[in-house]
Chains A and B, each alone.
Chain A
Amino acid sequence: MDGSLMNKIMNKDLITILFTPLLFLLIIYPIVALLTNLEVPGVRETLMDGLFWDSVKNTLLAALVAASLCVILSIGFGYCHLFMRNSLLYKAANLMNDLPIALPHTVAGLALLLAFGRTNFGFAGPTGLAFTMIAVVLAMFFVSYPLAARAVASGVDQMDLESIAVARTLGDTPTKAFLRIALPALREALFSGFVLSFARSLSEFAAVIMFGGNVPGSTQVLASYVFTKVEEGEVAMAVTASGFCIFLSLILVVLVGQGRRRRA
């Protein structure tokens, strides 16, 4: 390449020149492609479909419960991260935090199926916990929990640890210091953990379909509704449901942005 042309490109900020088309091609273009395929009849048909609204209700409800569970468990992890870093429990918990991220979600779904299915949880029903809303919640929780735990651990890392030390010398046991001093300081991290795990739960498909199934009106969630509609050849309805997913995601993005601004 001509030296002066190269210089011109370098002067024009090479990274921006490379980044901009890739961002448009790989992130923005697919979203635009989906939204430009929205059709009025498809929208009307989907909005009139009771099963669509059932899947919306199932998704929101299960994601809400799963994200709440994630936050509760991540508080426990935060405690271990603060006070028990050399313990075997913490090391095991830390390892298990990373595992669901690396695992294919079909494997996670299968693991849950074997753990809570008919064989071990036959007393809970003919299929154990599998193919129920509890299964949907557990599948969402399993894949989303690492995000909440990481958010809380990062909050603990940014905390003023001397304030915990002072609280201990003022008579607090580790539990009291955690509840009275650490937890209020982790408010923002817990909020981030909740929103991130809620968003992850909304989009979960593989683990949910393996363990919770895809029973329309019962355990079907938005992701599996889209999948079913594509399989049935109802692409316009699948596109509408997908557009609705994007709308939900945008609300979450705004919420996360507001949380960040509040922190700043």
Chain B
Amino acid sequence: MNEALAAAAASASGLTFVDRTEGETFVTYGDVRARARRTAGALRARGVETGDRVALVFPTSPAFLEAFFGVLLAGAVPVPLYPPVRLGRLAEYLVSTSRMIAAVGARLVLADATTRSLLGKAIESSRPPLGCVTLGDLGPAGELEAEIGPGALGLIQFSSGSTADPRPVALSHDGLMAQLAALRALLPREEALPQKGVSWLPLYHDMGLIGCLLQAVYYPGPLVLIPPELFLARPALWLRAIARHRATISVAPSFAYALCAKRVRDEDLGGADLSCWQVALCGAEPVSLDSLDRFARRFGPFGFDRRALRPVYGLAEAALAVTFTPGDREVKATRVDPVRLAATGEAVDGPRAVVSVGTPVPGTDVEVRGPDGSVLGELRVGRIFVRGPSVMAGYFGQPEATASALSGGWLDTGDLGFVAGGELHVCGREKNVIVIRGANHLPQEFEEALAGVEGVRAGCAVAVGFVPEGEDGEQLLVLAERARGTGPPADDEGTVERIRRAVLSHTGIRPHTVRLLEPGTLPRTSSGKLRRNEALRRFLAGALDPPVRVGRLRVLIEVVRSALAFTRVRLGGGAGRPTSA
């Protein structure tokens, strides 16, 4: 990566930062490298050694670049973390940041001055040996550009921002370079048209960091960066920047296309011309055909070519991209019956459109496997496995988690999909991750928020992600069992409302659907653990039924299971049914 920066520095190209008044600051790659070399020297003088992890907490700004490449040039490993939330939920933010700093054993945390002033408690509890400093604190100490040994780690990125169980994805320099080379091979040839990018994606996320920033450095070519919060507040900024800079490439999750179609007004665009936009990649969450179609129709009059839209699939554990769709065609989808899909694993013709995410990127292999590990044929739903040079080295410091994800060079993505017409279609997920607006969340985040909510049977609720009909992307579904003795319809409405409030105020995410169930309805393992994916499968197949009335033996089993599920059940009545909590 350091060689790529040196090559980019020799070009006149660079990065443009857009601010909220749409003022712009241009920094050449030469500037970035010169500053990063000084940062590297200062980091080494501070005691940062080869292979040390350095956490970075910056907004989208030139300082992020200086810090990120400074760490790389010092031979250390950058770990970008997300900056503090703007309003509310600071306590949760500090807990998750502290856990991420601890999970990678960061030696030092670098932050901008504002963030540093908020991080106090996270630093206190995670105790990086060299503390938390700003770039200004580092002071001058000469320049440095360390040699990178073979197999050295180049980056650690988190696959989700969840508080419960952060998974640090460790990528080698070689893996990163393989990913960047594969991506470049998929772009239109340079001599045909030099690529010019615009991105509002966060720089602590694989798609924004590797797909946009590092790809621009590697290419090398110009990139315009917009802070993500400005895009969310004023989505038209993104489209205006593309038109103003005559950008050819930009990438975003499905929800961003939907947000623009909904919120951007004609007068916001002022006659902007989007015909320059040749590659409009869409990934990081399930791709919604509907959203892309609405976007294409909405901005067609502004010159947007719907053939520019290219759905892609990837995950942090594979560095970024796994499959790409080819250019110069319309978005392809296969229509399936969602109930049959959930019930039998067969993709048969039906009302739901599942978008094709194309074929593997160069150097990468993909297999869809059945429960017995055999590779499945077309239209059979199975688990997606990936092999290739940019697959992660492992979860940093977590050999058990690594062993369950990587086997014989194959990465178990935990995603479900099928092949149709030789192209991969992603239609679900077996791993416990909920993807909302391109961000990954663990179900525990939401389930923990339900502790103590009146009317909910303690420990008997699951959070899962699903794509509701007519929605633009994945949404949060909460399936919760009623507390015993509160059965319907007594206070269902109140309980649902309490669940919604608890989840939203703890997590900042609004549940799309909350469904209350009879006690004992949620499927469990033999040891009493809730089976989230099975619960979702039954929900989608319309088969979430309350348990049948049971005899005495089943009562005993039920009691044991309930006890194991951390629920107290007392036996009452004489009809052989478990009653009252």
Do A and B bind? no
